[in-house]
Amino acid sequence: MSPREAKAEVFLMAFKGLTKKEKRIFIERLLKDKEFVEDLLDMAIIEKRRKEPSRPLEDYLAEKRLETCRGK
């Protein structure tokens, strides 16, 4: 386990040790942190879209270059 994983495990264990009311208070504070909420939403979107079909970046960029040349 890496030091970062160990630190995360300590925080998770501490969170699990809280009462329901303490957990609610902690989560409310997290949700007031704009940067945290933004990161959480990003992770949720990535997870939701993980199984969507994808294509190589080079193909996308080539298509965009063609659109630009054609004036789209």
Handedness of CA 49, 53, 59, 65 (dihedral sign): negative
Q: Whole-model pTM?
A: 0.63
Determine the structural domain holding residue 11 and report its residue range: 3-70
pLDDT category at 69 given cuts 50, 70, 90 is: confident
Q: What is the mean pLDDT of residues 49-56?
A: 93
Number of domains in the chain: 1
Asked if pLDDT for residue 68 goes beyond 80, the answer is: yes
pLDDT category at 72 given cuts 50, 70, 90 is: low
Q: What's the mean pLDDT when you consider all of the chain? A: 95
pLDDT category at 44 given cuts 50, 70, 90 is: very high
Q: Which residues of 29-66 are buried (b: 16+ CB within 10 A; e: fewer)?
A: eeeeeeeeeeeeeeeeeeeeeeeeeeeeeeeeeeeeee
